[in-house]
Chains A and B, each alone.
Chain A
């Protein structure tokens, strides 16, 4: 069973460069999440999609961040221009879309480790 697949696993980039992180959710899952993890703030939800539609992007820190989900099997998180304070681990996760209120387990990818110098 393939889990959530993220790329790249590691990226080091210079300040000001554009960064694109990619995610393939688990097949059949209808919800996709982007999280950021840092030592200072822990795991933070940036944005999540349901059936390819952005539902809540209130966690996106600035206009420099954008996320897209052009189809059910692919999503990108883009940072342009990148800054050193964007250095973090970015996790993509997906979840099946069960009945409302039943609770949906979120399954995480292995993360994209971003360092902006």
Chain B
């Protein structure tokens, strides 16, 4: 579950298109997952979460999908806007007390005009 940020994957999408950001997690025992958005110069901001007893959860313009079989998480952003440009991190809950999270390396989303 250790993240190594040697380089940051980048996803470029056209404004108005849908974005899909993927994340592979490491611990099959993880039972809670969060997607964070980090804008330049700011701290990570909570977007949406999902528990392991669900495979899909929707928010405003965002949907998180969880596939426990292959330990894969995705974040879908509908009608991507310039304000969505940021680095997106997935985080997995790594112990039974829900207090310790391991973060993925992040994906940079660039929205093209």
B74-89 near A? 1/0 per residue, CB < 8 Å = 0000000000000001
CA distance A105 to B99 in the complex (A): 8
Q: Is the CB of A100 within 8 A of B98?
A: yes
Q: Is the CB of B96 within 8 A of A111?
A: no
Residues of B within 8 A of A111 (CB): 42-43
Q: Determine chain B's interface SS by DSSP, over half rule.
A: loop
CA distance A42 to B102 in the complex (A): 10
User: What is the distance, in angstroms, from A54's C-beta to the closest C-beta of chain B?
Assistant: 12
Name which of A11-19, A33-41, A71-79 contacts chain B: A33-41
Q: Is the CB of B43 within 8 A of A91?
A: yes
B93 within 8 A of A: yes
Q: Which of A20-40 contact B (CB under 8 A)?
A: 31, 38-40
Q: How large is the interface on A (under 10, 10 to 19, 20 to 34, 35 or more residues)?
A: 20 to 34
CB closest chain-A residue, reference B91: A106
User: What is the distance, in angstroms, from A114's C-beta to the closest C-beta of chain B?
Assistant: 14
In the complex with contacts A43-B103, A48-B99, A100-B98, A105-B46 CB distance below 8 A: yes
Find the residue from A42, A107, A109 having the highest chain B CB count within 10 A: A42
CA distance A105 to B98 in the complex (A): 8
In the complex with contacts A45-B101, A98-B98, A103-B3 CB distance below 8 A: no
* 9 smallest beta-carbon distances between A and B, as pairs: A103-B32, A108-B43, A42-B5, A42-B3, A43-B103, A104-B98, A108-B44, A103-B98, A110-B43
- Interface residue ranges, B against A (CB under 8 Å): 3-6, 31-32, 34, 36, 42-46, 49, 51, 89, 91, 93, 96-106
